[in-house]
Amino acid sequence: MVLKLRGFVLALVPVLLVLGLFGCKSRTPEDIFVAAQKALNGLESYYAKVTYIIVDDEEQREYGFEQWVSMPSSFKIRLTAPDSLAGKTIVSDGKEILIDHPKEGDSLRFEAKGLEQQRPLFIGDFLNSFWSSEDVTKRIHLDDDGMEFVVFACPAPGVYNSACTEELWVYSDKMSPAKLIAYDSEGNVISLIYFESFNEDWKPGENFFCID
């Protein structure tokens, strides 16, 4: 009986090893693409700390801000840098935008559509362009530090500054956005948004985007 049991165990070992190999099989690029797309499509709202860089005529300007977004078009931005703009807040309920600059004692209200070209891109803007375009690409990128990203690219819709192409970079391990890049027709970077931190579980409270 002991010999039979030992034989059974020895016969079972190769089977377990094979199952273990299959269980540890790494994800294919297509698996990663599907997971990233699912994560992005599931975004309803988010909070992020952002570094926003604009490159214009060889001049580079850098801004820091906190960002609260609720799909598809409600948002709140609070600038943290540079010091001259710190505290400036921009709020939109999707129809109107309120710009409040406490340091200047100024407050202005506009129709949201009128300022669409002058505000930073949001993830929702990119996704709208990506899903409505037929000329899209996706790839896996491994940087010099071994960090892996999923990179989605598509043509810009033409309403955001002079951008011609947009790329959204997503961390492939945690499936959260890393950066959003806009290029001109010659492939030069004209704006770059770094997501320093990102919380997809954030939800707006009642009247969070109210501008009255």
> Given this model, what pLDDT does residue 23 score?
46
Q: What is the pTM of this model?
A: 0.83
Tokens for 200, please give them: 């997809």
- Please tell me the predicted confidence (pLDDT) of residue 158: 62
**Alpha-carbon span 171 to 173, nearest angstrom:** 6
88-95: long-range contacts, CB 8 A cutoff, minimum separation 24: 90/119, 91/209, 91/211, 92/209, 92/211, 93/209, 93/210, 93/211, 94/209
Q: What is the pLDDT of residue 178?
A: 98
Of the candidates 148, 129, 147, the residue with the CA atom closest to the CA atom of residue 137: 129
- Predicted confidence at residue 33, as pLDDT, reads 95
pLDDT at 5: 38
CB count within 10 Å of CB 8 equals 9
Report the phi/psi class of residue 87: left, alpha or beta, with left for phi > 0 and alpha for psi in -120 to 50.
left
Q: Is 59 helix (H, G, I), strand (E, B) or coil?
A: strand
DSSP symbol at 27: P
pLDDT tens for the 212 residues of the chain, in order: 544 434 433 444 444 333 343 444 578 999 999 999 999 999 999 999 999 999 988 789 999 999 999 998 899 999 999 999 999 999 999 999 999 998 888 899 989 887 776 677 889 989 999 999 989 999 999 999 999 999 999 998 765 556 789 999 999 999 999 999 999 888 999 999 999 999 999 999 999 999 87
Q: Confirm or reject CATH 2.50.20.10 for domain 29-199, answering yes or no.
A: yes
Locate the domains of the chain by residue range.
29-199
Helix (H/G/I), strand (E/B), else coil: 9: helix
